Amino acid sequence: MKKILAVLLLLILAINVSFCDGNGEAVDYSYEKAKVLSVTDRNYIENGEEYLVQLVDLEIISGDYKGEKATVENGLSGNFVYKVESKPGMELIVAINDSAEDLEVIITDYSREKYIKWVLILFVAVLLLVGKSKGLKTLITLATTILLIIKFMIPFMLKGYNPIILAIVTAIIITNFTLYFVAGVNKKSFSAIIGTTFGVVISGIIAYIIGLKANMTGLSGMEAGMLMYIPQGVTFDYRGILFAGIILGSLGAVMDVAMSISSSISELYSIDDSLSAKRLFKSGMNVGRDIMGTMANTLILAYTGGSLQLMMIFMAYSTPARKIFNLDIISTEIIRSLAGSMGLILTIPITAAITVFFIKKVHID
């Protein structure tokens, strides 16, 4: 669920990018789709090295300049990351600057949005086909979660508000809305909400304490450095943003575990209401232990999967383990993974005890 949410966030979140012209002044570009009409390849030599430049005839097919045509020089860099090789019939993303006398068009990337739309439509279709009414509710909760993050949490973080408090408030709203909307207003949902809250808070506290002791800066990623130069001119609490990310990152898995435990205990009690509190608690723990291994792996794999290329670099250069584990970016991911996993694991007995308490109206011995 966390990866689904991340993908949908990227589909919706728009990023305004500014470039600088030759005088160092900011130039705003609009981004539109363009279709390649024809391509002419030209080779030239500079400093003894041969370069390939494409003369690309384009037709803009979206936005205010739809129907306009332009011829663009497309230098094919030796760096594969920045190489956008054009072919007739291909759709590209272009940056357009209309502040100059002539329309300035720059090829920036391949157009991938229609394929993303197809996958998104397929995802919705599969969700509704398999989940039916529950699938529809899932879509609504996903949309609500995305709106809360991009319309509430991120805007207030960009204004300099405390990111940890914002993450906690957002997590509480998401948890209450999701569980009550999907499972209804009942003891099962209420127990899962309390269990989720405890699990997420535990993850955050562990990460916060260890993070302070380990001198984690929150500046391990490239994105943190980019935040220093955003136009809002806000001084951020980068460590707080890091902990806010840990809280949100663990929320989905912890919520799944809490709901699974609460639901299984409630279902057992509905079948046989003569079961004792101790027996119900034990059954909930047995279910939780089965979930625990896979869900802990899910968290750790989700966090470390994004660092796979970095790990390959370390192994390729035989970097000493002591150096690797003491790097800010690596220690951050380790603490993030383990703190989230501990919160998830502790959610199991907490949710089981709370669910049994509300069902049986007794404390667990």
For residue 59, the Cα-to-chain-centroid distance in whole angstroms is 34
CATH of the domain at 55: 2.40.50
**In the predicted model, is pLDDT for residue 353 greater than 90?**
yes
* Max mean pLDDT range (7-11, 76-80, 299-303): 299-303
pLDDT at position 47 is 67
According to DSSP, the residues that pair with 43 across neighbouring strands are 52
Q: Are residues 192 and 331 in the same domain?
A: yes
Assess if residue 104 is contained within a domain: yes
**In the predicted model, is pLDDT for residue 343 greater than 50?**
yes
Assess if residue 160 is contained within a domain: yes
Q: Are residues 313 and 173 in the same domain?
A: yes
Rounded CA-CA distance 351/343 in Å is: 12
Q: At residue 22, what are phi and psi to the nearest 5 degrees? A: -65, -20
> pLDDT tens-digit profile of 35-72?
999 998 887 766 667 778 889 999 999 988 899 999 99
Q: Are residues 215 and 266 in the same domain?
A: yes
Q: Are residues 89 and 198 in the same domain?
A: no
Closest listed residue to residue 344, CA positions, set 252, 263, 262? 252
pLDDT at position 334 is 81
Q: Are residues 309 and 346 in the same domain?
A: yes
Residue 11 to residues 48, 131, 351: CA-CA distances in angstroms?
A: 43, 23, 34
Q: Are residues 82 and 154 in the same domain?
A: no
Buried b (16+ CB within 10 A) or exposed e, 51-88: eeebebbbebebeebeebebebebeeeeeeeeebebee
Mean pLDDT of the chain: 82
Residue 7 to residues 3, 123, 142, 270: CA-CA distances in angstroms?
A: 6, 11, 11, 38
More confidently predicted of 32 and 225: 32
pLDDT at position 56 is 92
**In the predicted model, is pLDDT for residue 23 greater than 80?**
no
**In the predicted model, is pLDDT for residue 76 greater than 80?**
no
Q: Which of 111, 142, 165 is the last residue of a domain?
A: 111
Band (pLDDT 50/70/90 cuts) for residue 214 is confident
Closest listed residue to residue 264, CA positions, set 246, 247, 281, 241? 281
Band (pLDDT 50/70/90 cuts) for residue 297 is confident
Buried b (16+ CB within 10 A) or exposed e, 24-41: eeeeebebbbbbbeebee
**In the predicted model, is pLDDT for residue 21 greater than 60?**
no
Tokens read off for 345: 């694991």
Note whether 246 and 207 are within 8 A (CB). Answer: yes
Assess if residue 296 is contained within a domain: yes
pLDDT at position 156 is 93
Assess if residue 338 is contained within a domain: yes
Band (pLDDT 50/70/90 cuts) for residue 82 is low
pLDDT at position 211 is 83
pTM for this predicted structure: 0.75
Q: Are residues 271 and 167 in the same domain?
A: yes
Beta strands across the sheet bearing 30-46? 69-75, 49-60, 30-46, 91-97, 104-110
Give the number of domains in the chain.
2
Mean pLDDT on 170-177:
92
- Please state at what angle helix 277-305 crosses helix 238-271, rounded to 10 degrees: 140
Q: Residue 79: which domain range?
A: 19-111
Mean pLDDT on 75-89:
76
Assess if residue 295 is contained within a domain: yes
Q: Are residues 107 and 138 in the same domain?
A: no
For the ranges 43-57, 154-168, 184-198, 266-280, the lowest mean pLDDT is seen at 43-57
Note whether 354 and 309 are within 8 A (CB). Answer: no
Rounded CA-CA distance 19/130 in Å is: 46
Q: Are residues 294 and 147 in the same domain?
A: yes
Q: Are residues 185 and 41 in the same domain?
A: no
Q: Are residues 38 and 98 in the same domain?
A: yes
Assess if residue 333 is contained within a domain: yes
CATH of the domain at 255: 1.20.1640
**In the predicted model, is pLDDT for residue 83 greater than 60?**
yes
Q: Are residues 282 and 347 in the same domain?
A: yes
Rounded CA-CA distance 73/75 in Å is: 6
Assess if residue 3 is contained within a domain: no
Q: Which of 77, 111, 145 is the last residue of a domain?
A: 111
For the ranges 175-189, 229-243, 296-310, the lowest mean pLDDT is seen at 296-310
pLDDT at position 99 is 74
Q: Which of 111, 141, 174 is the last residue of a domain?
A: 111
Assess if residue 124 is contained within a domain: no
